[in-house]
């Protein structure tokens, strides 16, 4: 068997890799940031969502068993929080506070689900909304994440939010403030930025962006995203940008609208485009398409 002799290039490549591994090891050793276990985070979110909204029909739990399950989720969350906080007492405070708020979060989500059932003609039951609507799932994960965000936990809520994003295509930053009876229809492609303020009974369709006008890092602590007041409807593809942009209550924002200015209450804003429909026979002119 013949072996090729080691060349100078091979030795140089080996040395480069060794240097890179050395630098990477040093970087890892110097890092002070702790990260939550992403798989555990996903298990918690899906498990807790199911516990609250999708009871197993073949396995009806007693109240005692449900209480034990509730405590199990509390322990699960505590482990995730400890991974990023690193302090036992603070972890316990955060977990206790979160689960003290769960009843109110549950009530808020029931209102969200009822709003979907009320206004979506395709929804035939509350159970269908709970089980099959990605907008409701994304809203639920947002409300869980937002509670932790308010308690000063930052990385873990982002992990929850990105998991919901990967499952639904709906990207809601946990720092956003969203009022009662929130309704997402379809939802794919929705983006709601960190400093967005959304009032009550707001309805948003797929492809809507509530974003920032500037990505300047120096403006990170300022309000960068719009305010949407009560009873606003935003149709698919609309883009609303800027921290000073306010959409007044009871307004309707049509599809594909691009807004960087405020809108007065009770306004209708729409994008005007021209669509011509005609009989294709006979065609007096040859149609040339460039793709």
Report the distance separating Cα 288 and Cα 290, nearest Å: 7
Within 10 angstroms of residue 107's Cβ, the number of other Cβ atoms is 11
| Orientation of helix 63-85 relative to helix 88-119, angle to 10° | 120
What local confidence, expressed as pLDDT, does residue 290 receive? 43
Mean pLDDT confidence for 269-275:
82
Token representation of residue 21 = 């591994």
Average pLDDT, the chain: 90
Q: Contact, 142 vs 176, CB < 8 A? A: yes
DSSP assignment letter at 217:
G
Token representation of residue 270 = 């729409």
DSSP assignment letter at 190:
-
Q: Compare 281 and 42 and report the one with higher pLDDT.
A: 42
| Segment 78-85 long-range contacts (CB within 8 Å, at least 24 positions apart) | 79/40, 80/36, 80/37, 80/40, 80/41, 80/44, 80/156, 81/148, 81/153, 81/156, 83/34, 83/35, 83/36, 83/37, 83/156, 84/34, 84/35, 84/36, 84/153, 84/154, 84/155, 84/156, 85/153
Report the distance separating Cα 246 and Cα 243, nearest Å: 8
CA end-to-end distance (rounded Å), the chain: 55
- Tens of pLDDT, residue by residue over 28-68, are 777 666 778 999 999 999 999 999 999 876 577 889 999 99
- Tens of pLDDT, residue by residue over 183-233, are 999 999 999 999 999 999 999 999 999 999 876 777 778 999 999 999 999
Q: Compare 27 and 155 and report the one with higher pLDDT.
A: 155
Reported as a pLDDT band with limits 50, 70 and 90, residue 25 is confident
Q: Which residues contact 69 (CB under 8 A, 6 or more apart)?
A: 51, 61
The number of C-alpha atoms within 13 Å of 244 and in the hemisphere containing its C-beta is: 4
Domains of the chain: 35-170 (1.10.3130.10), 176-275 (2.160.10.10)
Token representation of residue 61 = 């739990």
- Tens of pLDDT, residue by residue over 136-146, are 999 999 999 99
What local confidence, expressed as pLDDT, does residue 291 receive? 40
Q: Tell how strand 203-205 and strand 183-185 pair up.
A: parallel
Reported as a pLDDT band with limits 50, 70 and 90, residue 281 is low
What local confidence, expressed as pLDDT, does residue 220 receive? 73
């Amino acid at each position: 068997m013949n072996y090729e002799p080691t060349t100078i290039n091979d030795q140089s490549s080996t040395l480069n890799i060794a240097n890179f591994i050395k630098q990477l090891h040093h970087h890892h050793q110097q890092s002070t940031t702790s990260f939550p276990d992403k798989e555990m985070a996903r298990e918690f979110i899906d498990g807790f969502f199911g516990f609250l909204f999708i009871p197993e029909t073949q396995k009806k739990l007693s109240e005692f068993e449900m209480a034990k399950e509730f405590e199990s989720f509390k322990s699960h969350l505590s482990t995730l929080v400890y991974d990023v906080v690193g302090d036992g007492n603070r972890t316990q405070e955060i977990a206790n506070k979160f689960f003290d708020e769960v009843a109110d979060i549950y009530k808020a989500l029931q209102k969200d689900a009822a709003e979907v059932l009320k206004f979506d003609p395709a929804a035939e039951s509350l159970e269908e909304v709970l089980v099959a609507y990605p907008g409701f799932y994304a809203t639920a994960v947002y409300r869980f994440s937002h509670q932790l965000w308010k308690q000063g936990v930052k990385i873990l809520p982002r992990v929850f939010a990105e998991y919901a994003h990967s499952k639904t295509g709906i990207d809601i930053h946990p720092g956003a403030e969203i009022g009662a009876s929130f309704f997402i229809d379809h939802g794919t492609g929705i983006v709601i930025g960190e400093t967005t303020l959304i009032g009550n009974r707001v309805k948003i369709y797929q492809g809507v962006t509530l974003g920032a006008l500037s990505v300047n890092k120096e403006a990170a602590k300022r309000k960068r995203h719009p305010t949407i007041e009560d009873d606003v409807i935003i149709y698919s593809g609309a883009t609303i940008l800027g921290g000073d942009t306010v959409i007044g209550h009871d307004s309707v924002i049509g599809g594909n609208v691009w807004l960087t200015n405020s809108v007065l209450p009770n306004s209708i804003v729409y994008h005007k485009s021209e669509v011509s429909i005609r009989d294709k026979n006979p065609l007096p002119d040859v149609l040339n398409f460039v793709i």
